[in-house]
């Protein structure tokens, strides 16, 4: 897919909460070994939202960082989309809370998107469409989650908190473009690998089914389709970011597509913060923009259970340098951390009911 007029990233920003819990600390509670999580899945610890944080607060801080880098007034945003599977309200948009808090209301389109871990890139696709058709000048696409993992479930070791905001604009009107969108594809089938029914606190998953027919089939297909459409090959890219439910999956997907480990490493954040779900691939992309140079080509491929994958190709531009230092980088947030034990974790994640 390609919009009729060129679309660029004009600002990017992320947010990761202060708190971390290690896989050893979670394993200690359930009498399990942490070895599988640390050595096979490459997760050391995960980010945990504090008592006063949720997807709205994460989205607001990420958006403010993106606005600072885009160097635009929030009133110039024509759309605010929030992609998440951990909305603060079951009914009431997160988008309106975020749009109001950053000062983008009232002349703005806003909606919440949901497609498991693909919701963030879905927001990006929609923003690209609106900007590329000339309906709006700027669109704000956010992927953020405070992901839930049931106690003792394998997901409890990886489900992290955080998110990223991307502002897209028309190439003609953006003074310091960060990255040009070269093209994108979306690949969707009905594959029930992971779900959460109404009124359930925690998601369910089809165990091994989440791998081959779900994650790998979709993310590999979308990436192949994109490379085909743009007549590009893996070696044309400096960086590749794949959705990161753990460290093993993106490295394996990259390898089977012909990408090298070095192309994936810069955007691989799951060892430090866990799986950010809807925030995962976009935060990996944000970390790449924090270090990329003009001329670098970046592949971003999300995966959302249910199932689908969006893949994008971006060509980094000069704005990446002038805008980088305006806001905290992903690594700034990763380094700012405070480890907590499982008792405090249960309090923060509302596992204690009273």
Partner 1 sequence: MSVPRYWREIPGRTRLEAQKCSKCGHVIYPERLRCDKCGGVLLEPYTLPEKGKLLTFSIVRSPPSNFVKMAPFVLGIVELEDGTRITTQITDIPVNDVSIGMSLEAVFRKISEDGDSGIIQYAMKFRPAFR
Q: Any contact of residue 101 with partner 1 (CB under 8 A)?
A: yes
**Total residues binding partner 1 (CB under 8 A):** 21
Spatial CB neighbours of 24, under 8 Å, sequence gap ≥ 6? 34, 38
- Region from 31-39, 46-54, 262-270, 274-282 binding partner 1, contact rule CB under 8 A: 46-54
Q: Any contact of residue 145 with partner 1 (CB under 8 A)?
A: no
Q: Which two tokens stand for residue 113?
A: 């998107």
Collapsing DSSP to helix, strand or coil, 227 comes out as helix
User: Are 122 and 238 a contacting pair, CB within 8 Å?
Assistant: no
- Region from 56-64, 122-130, 146-154, 311-319 binding partner 1, contact rule CB under 8 A: 56-64
Q: Any contact of residue 103 with partner 1 (CB under 8 A)?
A: yes
Collapsing DSSP to helix, strand or coil, 345 comes out as helix
Active-site residue, 243 included = yes
Q: Choose, from 45, 117, 182, 205, the residue flagged as catalytic.
A: 117
Phi and psi angles of residue 334, each rounded to the nearest 5 degrees, phi first: -65, -40
Q: Which two tokens stand for residue 140?
A: 């704000």
Min CB(52)–partner 1 separation in Å: 4
Active-site residue, 117 included = yes
Nearer to partner 1, 42 or 101 (CB): 101
Only one residue has tokens 């990017």, namely 12
Spatial CB neighbours of 338, under 8 Å, sequence gap ≥ 6? 18, 19, 20
- Region from 100-108, 155-163, 201-209, 252-260 binding partner 1, contact rule CB under 8 A: 100-108
Min CB(60)–partner 1 separation in Å: 4
Active-site residue, 207 included = no
Q: Any contact of residue 73 with partner 1 (CB under 8 A)?
A: no
User: Are 168 and 138 a contacting pair, CB within 8 Å?
Assistant: yes
Beta-sheet strand order (sheet of 19-22): 45-48, 19-22, 338-339
- Contacts to partner 1 by CB under 8 A: 18, 50-54, 56-57, 60-61, 88-89, 97, 100-101, 103, 328, 332, 336, 338, 347
Residues with catalytic roles? 85, 117, 243
């Amino acid at each position: 897919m390609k919009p009729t007029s060129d679309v660029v990233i004009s600002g990017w920003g992320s947010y990761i909460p202060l708190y971390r819990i290690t896989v050893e600390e979670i394993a200690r509670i359930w009498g399990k070994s942490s070895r599988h999580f640390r050595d096979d899945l490459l997760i050391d610890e995960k980010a945990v939202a504090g008592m006063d944080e949720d997807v709205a607060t994460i989205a607001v801080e990420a958006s403010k960082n993106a606005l600072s880098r885009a160097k635009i007034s929030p009133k110039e945003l024509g759309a605010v989309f929030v992609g998440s599977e951990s909305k603060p309200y079951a009914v009431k948009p997160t988008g309106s809370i975020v749009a109001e808090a950053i000062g983008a209301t009232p002349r703005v389109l806003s909606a919440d998107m949901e497609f498991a871990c693909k919701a963030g890139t879905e927001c990006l696709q929609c923003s690209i469409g609106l900007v590329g058709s000339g309906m709006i000048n700027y669109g704000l696409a956010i992927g953020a989650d405070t992901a839930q993992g049931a106690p003792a479930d394998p997901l409890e070791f990886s489900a992290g908190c955080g998110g990223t905001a991307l502002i897209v604009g028309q190439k003609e009107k953006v003074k310091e473009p960060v990255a040009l969108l070269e093209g994108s594809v979306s690949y969707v089938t009905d594959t029930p690998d992971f779900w959460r029914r109404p009124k359930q606190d925690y998601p369910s998953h089809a165990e091994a089914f989440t791998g081959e027919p779900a994650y790998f089939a979709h993310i590999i297909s979308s990436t192949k389709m994109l490379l085909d459409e743009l007549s590009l090959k893996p070696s044309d890219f400096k960086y590749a970011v794949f959705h990161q439910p753990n460290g093993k999956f993106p490295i394996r997907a990259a390898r089977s597509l012909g990408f090298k480990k070095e192309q994936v490493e810069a955007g691989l954040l799951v060892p430090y913060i866990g799986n950010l779900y809807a925030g995962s691939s976009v935060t990996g992309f944000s970390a790449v923009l924090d270090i990329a140079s003009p001329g670098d080509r970046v592949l971003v491929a999300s995966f959302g259970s249910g199932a689908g994958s969006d893949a994008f190709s971006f060509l980094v531009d000069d704005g990446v340098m002038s805008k980088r230092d305006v806001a905290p980088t992903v690594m700034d947030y990763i380094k700012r951390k405070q480890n907590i034990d499982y008792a405090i974790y249960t309090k923060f994640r509302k596992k204690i009911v009273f």
